[in-house]
Structure 1
Amino acid sequence: MTALLDKTVAHQEPAPPRENRLAGWARVRRTSLLVLGPLLLITGLVRWIGLSRAPQRIDDEGTYVAQAFAVERFGELSHYTYWYDHPPLGWLQIAGYTTLTNAFERTANAVVAGREFMVIMALVSALLLWLLARRLGVSRLGAGIAVAVMALSPLAVQFQRTVYLDNVATPWMLGAFVLALSPQRRLAATAGAAVCFGVAVLSKETYLLMLPLLLWLMIRNADRSTRRYALAVAGTLFVLIGLSYVLLAVVKGELVPGMNRVSLADGLYFQLFGRESSGSVLDAASLSRRTFGIWFQLDVFLPIASVLAAVAALWSRRLRPVAVGYLVLLAFMLRPGYLPVPYVIALIPLAALLIGGVADLAVRKVRSGRRSRFVTVPVVLAAVAGLAVATPAWGGQLRGLTVADLDAPVAQAQAWVIDNVPVEDRVVVDDALWVDLVRAGRNRDDVVWYYKVDTDPAVAAKAPGGWRDYDWIVSTNSLRTFPDGFPIVDEAMKNSTVVATFGTGTDRVDIARVDPSGADAQKARLAEDTAARTVAGQALAGNPRLSLSTQARQLLVDGRVDGRLLGTLATAAATGPVTVVDFPGVAAEEATGQPRRQALLAGADGLAPFYEGQIPLYRPSRVETRSDGLLVAYPPVTPAGVLRGLR
């Protein structure tokens, strides 16, 4: 026996080093790696290039990023009262990324920090889509087509780089499908699929609609001898993960409605029944039709090709579960109720998979030798038509997403607020700006998300005067098109004057100053202010000690010059000659008719101490000596006392 043991030990070979095992693994899969590697690189590059420029930051992105910021900086689940509108796991993952990478300090703005994480999620989703296709029996060619379609579709690029909770949930969903199709059919894989799916649902609750597809895949792939046990374990794990959300509400004492508190029950009711219906897609004026229009404007090929592929895939046993799941999700969009714009994100990987899978089926049919016209002619015609439509359309859209600076109006408005709005003023904003203005040094209570002005009692308690307690409104398309029923924001808008505008059309961002005296008094005062500036400007234009360019003189005569400049120039001219080259305008303020608040003075170096020594009412925000003269700039809003002195 000893001799036998010695012989056995002698013939045992040491385990190969980890490097050798890795090399062996790569050698076996080298073909897949050669196909998948470039596709992942393309996926990442297309989403990374232009990440901060397109699409324009939107309110939803700002909300999820602000919630992640609150987790990281304040140790809170939300920057306002958390009211169970969504499970928090999605933005907790975003907060994990921003904390580990210091993203809020590195990036140009807070939304870009969240978009970086979206790119990572897109890469993981592409990898898992490849694995899912291969486990469904799709060839490398078909799997490559699926990943390529998702990598290059403008619809996928725009929505997958936008900060949506759906993008956080998608890789968990795909991971659940991949584990459910594990070739080894192990209990651990089935349990892992349930855990991944639970995380997906707690990242975005609408992914619960994928449960029938997951069950189908689990039942089909599970070993018959252990199927019931495996499904019971998976179901138990999924329910336990879901109950953790309920436990959160229980621990916080917010499970059911009560006086002066939010509740999980209220949040669920709002999501299921309380949201305003998007209307029928057949109604040209409905929100659903507008949502479909957004999708088709980005990409016509993917939606049409995926529906055709889904119908064809019904005849394939391997692809039938995905086809049925996809068509059910499409049918769900046609129901009466609310249709979220990012709903399409869950459909994108399934659509790409169906297109790649059906293309693979067609190629296999042709290669099998059964080249009947019934198969080859439709496939060839569909492929040619698809390429003819997709190539130029995708090229144009991708150029826009990678080159155009669609976010410029928001970035310019943000810089204008930081530079010109007093830090103690209260500003109503689109949530896309909330984190950046707080990071710029403003008190979080003085930067108010417009949605909370009328809906959060904690915010209302800090503004007992209603709309009069707000000083500024940063108006984006999201704020302007928000549904009715927000009287405080509406009144603030009606009683405000736009002082700066950035961009045009739906991308336009307006900055308005709220006047607590009301709209009528505001209109009368603006007329008086213009008259006062006109009279004072005409008098100043006739001052012989003031040398004026033709353009500067015309601006004075027309009453287009700020009262603070009128008063200080008159004082300066009393002490000696002053030459005014121009009253440079601020581009964003020209369209709103605001008076010119800057002056360029020639040969006036001696006037710098004069302006820097002015009392606060007349002290400029900037006095700069340049090669072409002395630039004097005032803040954008003229104090009332200045104009009273001019009358």
Structure 2
Amino acid sequence: MASAVAASGPDPAVSAAGGVRRPRFSGLPWWLPAATLVIGGHLVTAWRLGGVVATDAEARIAAAAAAMRLSGFAADPLPFADALGARQLAVLATVLPLDALSTIDAARLACLLAGAVAALLTWPVLRALGAPAPAAAVGVVLAGASAPALTLHAGVASAAPAAAWLTLAAVLATRLRRPGPALPVAALAVLTAPLAVVALLALLAHLLLDGTVRVPRRARRPLGIAVAAAAVGLVVPVASPSVAIGGPVVDTPAALAGAAAGTALVLVAHRLLPWLRAVLTPVLVLLVLVAVPGPARVTAALLVLPGLAVVAGMVAGALAERLARPAPAAAVAIVLVVGLAATAAGDGPPRGPAAAAAGGMAGWAVAQLPPGTPVRADALDRAELAAAGLPVDALRGPADPPAPGEVLLLTPRPPAAAPAADGCPPAATLAGTDEGTGGSASVLCRTDGSGSADGAPVRTRLGGALAGNPALSLDPAAADLLRAGAVDTRVIAVLAAMSSARRLVVAGFPAVDLDVPGAPRRQVLITAVDGAPAAGSPLLPTWLDGQQPPFVPARVTPAGDALLVTWFALPDRSGGTP
């Protein structure tokens, strides 16, 4: 496409300011620092991914990408374009260390990788259009810094691969000086992000109207107007949520500011580089769509950023030529771009203990629920549960019929509204974290109508009796928990049975990580049995494993000389309620 533009203006081997393009690889001293800045900026963004909260659309796209590598796992259905984009993200993610990444972070890094590729591909486009190496470096750095600064690269968008495909199509068109080889690549971009067809039709309409595309003279104007009308008519259908669900949320002030800055750049290029005006038309169309709220805003932003970078590089080349000092001007521009990107990116939210537990809810469900317990959750939570080892046949989607004994894992995600107040009643909540999958708060609760208050009088009565058992030596805080009814009845029953024949020393009833405050304690730390260290007792683990549901423990773990005995958060299905 850019070859047609070049044909209507100066020879592509000549820069817009009249300078002859240098031989191949002559710009290597400029390309290497620019590429280093782009890669470094993306690595810094990748390191900071944990501070971003995933939207509902991002969660669904990330889950669909994860479904490619999780055997038997089925994500929620997506529109065709999003499903195709998710598959491409899954392919990109294969080069990443997936074992160390959460589902959402794997998709985010795949988007970052696509963005870095698109940024680096702007270099051959700019050089083919005649930009001097310093100006091309400005364009590459701008392409690599603008998206992370706008947080687009810190999120998941199925259109991210489309931006790379569209830039590759521009590389083929400009380097080969004919559009044929670029058409299949452009078609793949359109399939991945249908909004790209609007920009391509706008470009074609401009080329028809200005006579670059050769058609009979009488048909030029009607055909150009028809193509332009088709571009306008397709805006609403291809921007519909039924075609693509979007991804990260870009707020309106930031979108308007970016669209205004891009429009100003387009106006400057329109005056300085008349031969480039055909490229400016689709760029301007996409900038208008960036300013319009909706799921197409993110797609338009991702598609327009490489184009804006090319325009900025060409403008930088023209201005530097007028100043007769291209290298210093380019260096100053690069410093400004990097500085503004760093300022816009900010420090982000701190990563504290809550952030460290972001993947903990899936691990909690696998370790703390009895095997086979059905878990109802959204697509991203189900993907994390499957990756953590929960059998896929135990996963229930929001639309699946209820299953006996199922629990609900609830993670509200923006911009969706908060769940109903009775979605997970506090009394029924088993576990929770302030930062669950995708950075949103998560809670897991019963759905059988029971709650933590059920059985409290029984726990208080039995716990008080056990606290007075002379065969049981208790830490004072542990004794207080028993008398307050804060210890699970299964723990009380097992300790009562063991202390009938043995003398036990109990150091405490530790809470399980992510268990909600107020949940009955279902762990006991036994330090000694009949005066000997509990960890060295061959009888105690065997005796515990021989219990019948619901009193059989989930795990017996050595803790130094002590034994930490843990029961499931829910009793075995064959047992009673704690």
TM-score (norm 2): 0.75
Could you tell me how far apart the structure 1 residues matched to 2:405 and 2:130 are?
61
Shift of 1:639: 6.3
Aligned residue in 1 for 2:164? 171
Could you tell me how far apart the structure 1 residues matched to 2:90 and 2:122 are?
25
Aligned residue in 1 for 2:525? 600
Judged with a 3 Å threshold, the aligned counterparts in structure 2 of structure 1 residues 577 and 423 are, in CA distance, closer, same or farther, namely closer
Judged with a 3 Å threshold, the aligned counterparts in structure 2 of structure 1 residues 133 and 167 are, in CA distance, closer, same or farther, namely same
Could you tell me how far apart the structure 2 residues matched to 1:538 and 1:50 are?
51
Identity of aligned residues (%): 23
* More divergent stretch after superposition (606-615 vs 580-589): 606-615
Task: Give the counterpart letter for 1:624 in structure 2.
Answer: T
Shift of 1:404: 8.2
Shift of 1:120: 3.7
Number of aligned positions between the proteins: 528
- 3-state SS, counterpart of residue 618 of structure 1: coil
Shift of 1:157: 8.1
Shift of 1:333: 4.1
Match of 1:308 among 258, 264, 282: 264
Shift of 1:383: 9.6
Deviation string 1:397-435 (CA, Å, 9 cap, x unpaired) is: 5xx79x889964431112112212334222222322333
Deviation string 1:501-534 (CA, Å, 9 cap, x unpaired) is: 22359934323223234xxxx4xx5433223222
Match of 1:199 among 188, 206, 225: 188
Shift of 1:174: 1.2
Could you tell me how far apart the structure 2 residues matched to 1:68 and 1:644 are?
39
Judged with a 3 Å threshold, the aligned counterparts in structure 2 of structure 1 residues 439 and 355 are, in CA distance, closer, same or farther, namely same
Could you tell me how far apart the structure 2 residues matched to 1:340 and 1:496 are?
41
Aligned residue in 1 for 2:433? 502
1:418 and 2:366 matched: yes
Task: Give the counterpart letter for 1:47 in structure 2.
Answer: H
Could you tell me how far apart the structure 2 residues matched to 1:335 and 1:636 are?
48
Judged with a 3 Å threshold, the aligned counterparts in structure 2 of structure 1 residues 31 and 212 are, in CA distance, closer, same or farther, namely same
Shift of 1:131: 2.0
Match of 2:379 among 431, 441, 444: 431
Q: Residue 135 of structure 1 contacts residue 181 of structure 1 at CA under 8 Å; is this kept in 2? A: yes
Judged with a 3 Å threshold, the aligned counterparts in structure 2 of structure 1 residues 507 and 112 are, in CA distance, closer, same or farther, namely closer
- 3-state SS, counterpart of residue 485 of structure 2: coil
Could you tell me how far apart the structure 1 residues matched to 2:150 and 2:293 are?
28
* More divergent stretch after superposition (578-587 vs 423-432): 423-432
Unaligned segments of structure 1, at least 5 residues: 1-26, 239-267, 279-286, 370-375, 454-458
- 3-state SS, counterpart of residue 159 of structure 2: helix
Could you tell me how far apart the structure 2 residues matched to 1:133 and 1:50 are?
30
Aligned residue in 2 for 1:472? 407
Shift of 1:608: 2.8
Could you tell me how far apart the structure 1 residues matched to 2:276 and 2:472 are?
83
Shift of 1:118: 3.2
Task: Give the counterpart letter for 2:61 in structure 1.
Answer: Y
Could you tell me how far apart the structure 1 residues matched to 2:363 and 2:387 are?
13
Task: Give the counterpart letter for 1:210 in structure 2.
Answer: A
Higher relative contact order (CA 8 A, sep 6+): 2
Q: 1:261-300 counterparts in 2 under 5 A?
A: 272=240, 291-292=250-251
Q: Residue 87 of structure 1 contacts residue 205 of structure 1 at CA under 8 Å; is this kept in 2? A: no
Judged with a 3 Å threshold, the aligned counterparts in structure 2 of structure 1 residues 295 and 173 are, in CA distance, closer, same or farther, namely same
TM-score (norm 1): 0.68
Unaligned segments of structure 2, at least 5 residues: 1-21, 228-235
Task: Give the counterpart letter for 2:251 in structure 1.
Answer: F
Could you tell me how far apart the structure 2 residues matched to 1:166 and 1:47 are?
18
Task: Give the counterpart letter for 1:476 in structure 2.
Answer: T
Task: Give the counterpart letter for 2:240 in structure 1.
Answer: L
Aligned residue in 2 for 1:281? none
Task: Give the counterpart letter for 1:309 in structure 2.
Answer: L
Judged with a 3 Å threshold, the aligned counterparts in structure 2 of structure 1 residues 172 and 611 are, in CA distance, closer, same or farther, namely same
1:349 and 2:306 matched: yes
Match of 2:563 among 630, 633, 640: 630
Shift of 1:554: 2.1
Judged with a 3 Å threshold, the aligned counterparts in structure 2 of structure 1 residues 621 and 336 are, in CA distance, closer, same or farther, namely closer
Could you tell me how far apart the structure 2 residues matched to 1:318 and 1:526 are?
73
Q: Residue 306 of structure 1 contacts residue 355 of structure 1 at CA under 8 Å; is this kept in 2? A: no
Q: 1:234-633 counterparts in 2 under 5 A?
A: 272=240, 291-292=250-251, 305-316=261-272, 317-335=274-292, 338-339=295-296, 341=298, 343-367=300-324, 389-394=340-345, 396=347, 408-450=356-398, 453=399, 459=400, 463=401, 466=402, 471-478=406-413, 482=416, 493=424, 497-503=428-434, 507-517=439-449, 522=450, 526-590=452-516, 592-604=517-529, 605=534, 606=537, 607-633=540-566
Could you tell me how far apart the structure 1 residues matched to 2:192 and 2:242 are?
21
Could you tell me how far apart the structure 2 residues matched to 1:618 and 1:447 are?
26
- 3-state SS, counterpart of residue 250 of structure 2: helix
Aligned residue in 1 for 2:179? 190
- 3-state SS, counterpart of residue 561 of structure 1: coil
Q: 1:56-75 counterparts in 2 under 5 A?
A: 59-68=56-65, 70=67
Judged with a 3 Å threshold, the aligned counterparts in structure 2 of structure 1 residues 344 and 562 are, in CA distance, closer, same or farther, namely farther
Shift of 1:82: 5.0
Task: Give the counterpart letter for 1:543 in structure 2.
Answer: N
Shift of 1:40: 2.7
Structure number having the greater helix percentage? 1
Deviation string 1:189-244 (CA, Å, 9 cap, x unpaired) is: 3122222211001112222232145426866999766999xx9xxx9xx9xxxxxx
Q: Residue 510 of structure 2 contacts residue 524 of structure 2 at CA under 8 Å; is this kept in 1? A: yes
Q: Residue 63 of structure 2 contacts residue 75 of structure 2 at CA under 8 Å; is this kept in 1? A: no
Judged with a 3 Å threshold, the aligned counterparts in structure 2 of structure 1 residues 197 and 218 are, in CA distance, closer, same or farther, namely farther
- 3-state SS, counterpart of residue 26 of structure 2: helix
- 3-state SS, counterpart of residue 30 of structure 1: coil
Judged with a 3 Å threshold, the aligned counterparts in structure 2 of structure 1 residues 405 and 549 are, in CA distance, closer, same or farther, namely closer
Could you tell me how far apart the structure 2 residues matched to 1:171 and 1:60 are?
21
Shift of 1:301: 8.6
Shift of 1:579: 1.3
Q: Residue 301 of structure 1 contacts residue 390 of structure 1 at CA under 8 Å; is this kept in 2? A: no
